[in-house]
Amino acid sequence: MRITSKGQVTIPRHVRDQLGLLPQTEVEFVVEGTVVYVRKATGAQQRGRRLIEGMRGKASVKMSTDEIMALTRG
């Protein structure tokens, strides 16, 4: 396997499948001496939660779920 001129390398499909590395999965590189490990970024699973927490309490109008669904459907 070779690194491209852009510094890219293809992770073999069987490795991606085994580790659950899907498109847009964030990874991090860990260097220990002359060995480099690639792993899922530790905060990657928390990204969605951070986004939701950042939005929580930002709405200025209180609506029920039924009212919101009525707006989006019609």
In a domain, 3, yes or no: no
Q: How many domains does the chain have?
A: 1
Q: Which range of residues forms the domain containing residue 30?
A: 13-73
pLDDT by residue (tens digit) across 23-46? 888 888 899 999 999 988 876 556
In a domain, 2, yes or no: no
Distances (CA, A) of 10 to 1, 4, 45: 8, 9, 23
In a domain, 66, yes or no: yes
Q: How far apart are CA 35 and CA 63, in angstroms?
A: 54
In a domain, 1, yes or no: no
pLDDT by residue (tens digit) across 43-73? 655 677 778 888 888 878 888 889 989 989 8
In one letter, which amino acid is 18? Answer: Q
In a domain, 57, yes or no: yes
In a domain, 6, yes or no: no
Q: Which residues pair with 27 in a beta bridge?
A: 40
